[in-house]
Amino acid sequence: MASRPRITVGYKVLSLACWNTDEVRGKMLELEHFLSQHGVDNCLLSETFHMPDQAFRLANYDCHRTHRPTAVGSTAILVRRGIFHHSLLVPGLTQLEATAVQVKLAGRQTKILAD
């Protein structure tokens, strides 16, 4: 798991982290601790191995997920509640999966993508 430097967007600051989870089940407490300890606003997750029917809930975060249509893997983006955001479609991918969100900070739109 790696914490990224804060990115300044307008007059606000956005803290990002990315993590290749190699199956997130069983690591939720570790993830919650990391996010809390580092004040992460958005966390990009890859290789979560979550299936579409499995719940993915984390306190104080909204989760956006994309599942690989032919195999396990999947990506997700966690967005801290209170940050105005919405999901974006990532069309045209056949061999990859990607999750995208758009966040609004200080009146500016910023796109974030996890692949």
> Can you give the pLDDT at residue 10?
46
**φ/ψ (deg, to 5) at 57:** -125, 140
71-97: average pLDDT = 83
Structure tokens given for 69: 């249509």
Which helix (H) or strand (E) is 35 found in, with range?
helix 28-38
17-40: average pLDDT = 83
CATH number at residue 97: 3.60.10.10
Structure tokens given for 15: 């803290």
104-114: average pLDDT = 84
Sheet holding 99-105: strands in order across?
85-88, 99-105, 108-114
21-44: average pLDDT = 84
In which domain, by residue range, is 100 found? Answer: 2-114
pLDDT tier for residue 102 given thresholds of 50, 70 and 90: very high
pLDDT tens digits, one per residue of 33-75:
899 999 999 999 887 776 666 777 888 999 998 876 666 678 8
Higher-confidence position of 73 and 6: 73
Q: Is the pLDDT of residue 8 over 80?
A: no
> Could you count the other beta carbons within 10 Å of the beta carbon of residue 113?
13
Structure tokens given for 114: 């996890």
Total domain count, the chain: 1
